[in-house]
Amino acid sequence: MKDTWTSLAIGGALACVFVAMFMDGSNPAVLIKPAPLILVFGGTFFAATAGYMKADLKGIKPILMRATKGDAYDMELAIQEMARLAGIAKSSGIIALDKETHNIEDPFLRRGIELAVDGTNSEEILDVLENDISSTEARHRMGAKVFADMGGFAPTMGIIGTVMGLVHVLGNLSSPQSLGPAIGSAFTATLWGVLSANVVWIPISNKLKRASDMEVQIKHMEVEGLLAIQNGASSRFVRTRMESFLPPQARQSSAPKGAAA
How do residues 21-65 score in pLDDT, each as one tens digit? 999 988 888 899 999 999 999 999 999 999 999 888 887 888 888
| Structure confidence at residue 46 (pLDDT) | 97
Q: How far apart are CA 149 and CA 152, in angstroms?
A: 5
The pLDDT of residue 57 is 86
State how far the Cα of 125 lies from the Cα of 257, in Å rounded to an integer. Answer: 32
| Domain range summary for the chain, segments of one domain joined by + | 5-75+125-254
Q: Is the pLDDT of residue 260 over 70?
A: no
pTM of the model as a whole: 0.87
Per-residue pLDDT, 41: 97
Q: For residue 207, name the pLDDT band (cuts at 50, 70, 90).
A: very high
| Rg of the chain, C-alpha, whole Å | 26
Instruction: Specify the pLDDT at position 66.
Output: 84
Long-range contacts of the stretch 5-13 (C-beta < 8 A, 24+): 6/67, 6/68, 6/203, 6/204, 6/207, 7/68, 7/69, 9/203, 10/199, 10/200, 10/203, 10/204, 13/199, 13/203
Average pLDDT, the chain: 90
Q: Over the stretch 137-176, which tens digit does the pLDDT of each residue have? A: 999 999 999 999 999 999 999 999 999 989 988 887 777 7
Residue 97 confidence (pLDDT) above 50? yes
Give the pLDDT of residue 170: 85
What proportion of the chain, given as a percentage, has pLDDT over 90? 70
Q: Which residue has the higher pLDDT, 186 or 89?
A: 89
Q: What angle do CA 160, 164, 169 make, to 5 degrees?
A: 145
- Highest average pLDDT, of 65-74, 194-203, 241-250, comes from 194-203
Q: Is the pLDDT of residue 92 over 60?
A: yes
Question: 181 falls in which pLDDT band (50, 70, 90)?
Answer: confident
Q: What is the pLDDT of residue 30?
A: 87
